[in-house]
Amino acid sequence: MAVNLLKRLTKREPDDRLFEDLCRDIGPEKVSRDGASQLLYSRDGSTFPGGVPGVICSPETTDQVISCVKAANRYNRSFVPRGAGTGLAGGAVPCDAPIVISTTKMNAILEIDLDKQFAWVQPGVVNLDLTKALKGSGFHFAPDPSSQQSCTIGGNVANNSGGPHCLAYGVTNAHVLAVEVVLPDGTLVLLGDTSEHTSGYDLRGAFVGGEGTLGVATCIAVRLTPDPPSIRTLLLDFMDVEDAAQTVSAIIASGIVPAAIEMMDQRIVNVVENFVNVGYPTDAAAVLIVEVDGLEDGVKLEVEAIEEIAVNHGARSVRVASSEEEREQIWKGRKSAFGAVAQVKPGYYLHDTVIPRTKLVEVLRNVYQIADKYELIVMNVFHAGDGNLHPLLIFDPEEQGIMERVFSAGEEIVQASIDAGGVLSGEHGIGLEKKGFMEKFFTQDDLEAQRLLKKAFDPDERANPFKVLPSGASCSEVNHLKQLPDGTWI
C-alpha cells in the first residue's frame, strides 16, 4: 500500500491548478491553503507532530463533498475527512499532502422522526447539540464521549466512539441506522436503511469505525433512545484502588448492568476537584461514579444492591445524588477531567485500550509501575464498567527527551493490555497511534482481510492514507517530502 502512495507523490499535479478548480467547484470562500489554515489543520487532538495538509476544503453540501473527492481523483491526490479534530489517535493528521475535507460546516439536523425514533443529521452536528435539540421530546442520542461538547457525530461514526453510557447502551455503531457516503471515486451510496430490515452485506457496519479510510460520511441516520423514567447517580469512594476495581467486577457479577461505571484515581480526583469544585473526596484513593436507570422500583432495588456490594468491598462512603443538579455536578467533574490536568503539566498522552474487567487490578498495577519506570506522572480516569482504560501520562512537551519516554511508556501500557487479553482500542480508533501494534494483535490473514475490505472501497488508496493498517512508510516520512517549483516532489 505504501509503495503505491509513494509512487503517486512523484506524479501528482501541483496545488495551483487544484486550488483553482476547487474554488470554481465549491466556491472560493470554502477553500484555503494559507499558512494559518495549514497550521490549524495539520494535527488533531493527539500528541502526534503535525502533518502537511494540501488544499483545505469546507464543503456545506453533499454535492460539494463529491466535487472535492472528484478533484482528488483528477489531480491524483489523496484526501482526509475531518470533523472537529478532537480525535486522540492521529486519525485526522494529514499524510501525503492531501485535500483536507472538513465537514464542520455541514451541521444541520435535517429531520427528527420521534414516531420511528431516528434523526437524519449532517456529519458536522456536534454530539451534544443533537441531545439539546431533543430536550423535552422524551428522547436523546445515547453515545456521549467526554468530548461531547465539541466532537461531531461524523467523527463519532468514524471512530465508533463510546462514552460513559456505552456500558448499557453500546457504542456509536449500535446507534447508526444508515450512512450516506461519498466513496473515494466520487460515487454517492447509502449504506443501511432506517427500516432496520435491510438485506445483503452490512456495509454500514463496515463503514462505522472506518476512520475515514473508506469514504466521507455526508448524512447519518441515528437511532434516538427514549429517556429513562428514573435515573440515580452514585458516588462511591475508596481508600484502596484495588477495592474500587474489585467493586466494579462485583457489581457486574451480581447481574446488574448499570448505565455507566466510571473510575477515577486520587491524582485525577484532586486536580478535577481543584478545577471545578464539585465535592469529590480528595483524600480518597479512588472514586466510582455509578449510574443506573429504568423503572423507578427497579432502579431503587439496584441502588440498594450496589450500596451493599460497595460497602462489602471496602467503600468508605456511598453518596446518592438527591437532585438533578447534584447529578450534573458529579458528571461535570468526570467530563472535565482531561482539561483539568493542564493545572499540573501542559501536555498529556492518553491511551485507550480495553481489558477484561477481571484484569483491572493487575493492569492498573502495571500502569503505575510503567509510569514510575519512565519517571512520569500517570492519572487514571476510565470507563471501568467495560474495562476501557484511559491512563493519562502527564508531561511538559518542552522538557528535553520527554517525548521518547512518553511514547515508550505508552507502548508498554498497550503491550500490558494485550498481554492481559485486551484489545487495542475501545473508542479512539487506531489512526497513526496504534497501527504499529496491529501486527501484534492480528494475524497476517486477519490484516489481509482488512486490506481487501479497504481496497474494495478504495482501490486507488486515496482515503486517509497511512492510517489504521500497517504500511512500509510512516506519515512523518511522507511529510518530509518537498515540492519543487515545477511540481515535482522529492
**Looking up cell 476544503, which residue turns up?**
57
Q: Do residues 431 and 468 lie in contact, with contact meaning Cβ atoms separated by under 8 Å?
A: yes
Same domain, 70 and 113: no
pTM: 0.92
Same domain, 311 and 365: no
How many structural domains is the chain composed of? 4
Q: What is the pLDDT along the chain (490 residues), one digit of tens a residue?
A: 444 544 544 455 568 999 999 999 999 999 999 999 999 999 999 988 889 999 999 999 999 999 999 999 999 999 999 999 999 999 999 998 999 999 999 999 999 999 999 999 999 999 999 999 999 999 999 999 989 999 999 999 999 999 999 999 999 999 999 999 999 999 999 999 998 777 889 999 999 999 999 999 999 999 999 999 999 999 999 999 999 999 999 999 999 999 999 999 999 999 999 999 999 999 999 999 999 999 999 999 999 999 999 999 999 999 999 999 999 999 999 999 999 999 999 999 998 999 999 999 899 999 999 999 999 999 999 999 999 999 999 999 999 999 999 999 999 999 999 999 999 999 999 999 999 999 999 999 999 999 999 999 999 999 999 999 998 555 655 554 444 343 333 3
Cβ neighbours of residue 183 closer than 8 Å, sequence gap 6 or more: 69, 189, 214, 215, 457, 458
Cβ neighbours of residue 211 closer than 8 Å, sequence gap 6 or more: 91, 158, 159, 429, 430, 431, 464, 467, 468
Helix, strand or coil, per DSSP, at residue 471: coil
Domain presence at residue 58: yes
Same domain, 29 and 132: no
Question: What is the number of other CB atoms lying within 10 angstroms of the CB of residue 73?
Answer: 14
Domain presence at residue 446: no
Domain presence at residue 304: yes
Same domain, 123 and 212: yes
Domain limit, last residue, from 307, 339, 371: 339
Domain presence at residue 488: no
Radius of gyration of the chain (CA): 23
The pLDDT of residue 168 is 95
Convert 321-331 to b/e letters by CB count within 10 Å (16 or more is b).
Answer: beeeebbebbb
Domain presence at residue 251: yes
- Whole-angstrom CA distances from 26 to 19, 247, 362 are 11, 55, 54
Same domain, 222 and 206: yes
Q: Measuring CA to CA, which residue among 37, 69, 34 is closest to residue 50?
A: 37
Distance, CA of 45 to CA of 352 (rounded, Å)? 14
Q: Do residues 89 and 432 lie in contact, with contact meaning Cβ atoms separated by under 8 Å?
A: yes
Distance, CA of 432 to CA of 438 (rounded, Å)? 11
The pLDDT of residue 488 is 33
Domain presence at residue 52: yes
Domain presence at residue 75: yes
Q: Measuring CA to CA, which residue among 160, 272, 273 is closest to residue 214?
A: 160
Domain that holds residue 376: 345-419
Same domain, 47 and 59: yes
Distance, CA of 468 to CA of 432 (rounded, Å)? 6
Distance, CA of 428 to CA of 391 (rounded, Å)? 13
Distance, CA of 454 to CA of 184 (rounded, Å)? 11
Same domain, 326 and 412: no
Q: Which residues pair with 225 in a beta bridge?
A: 140
Distance, CA of 297 to CA of 248 (rounded, Å)? 23
Same domain, 222 and 234: no
Domain presence at residue 490: no
Distance, CA of 264 to CA of 245 (rounded, Å)? 10
- Whole-angstrom CA distances from 420 to 49, 193, 378, 387, 430 are 30, 38, 20, 11, 19
Looking up residue 364, the CATH number of its domain turns out to be 3.30.70.2740
The pLDDT of residue 14 is 60
The pLDDT of residue 471 is 81
Same domain, 317 and 364: no
φ/ψ (deg, to 5) at 177: -90, -40
Q: Using the 8-state DSSP alphabet, how is residue 47 labeled?
A: S
Domain limit, last residue, from 293, 314, 339: 339
Same domain, 115 and 41: no
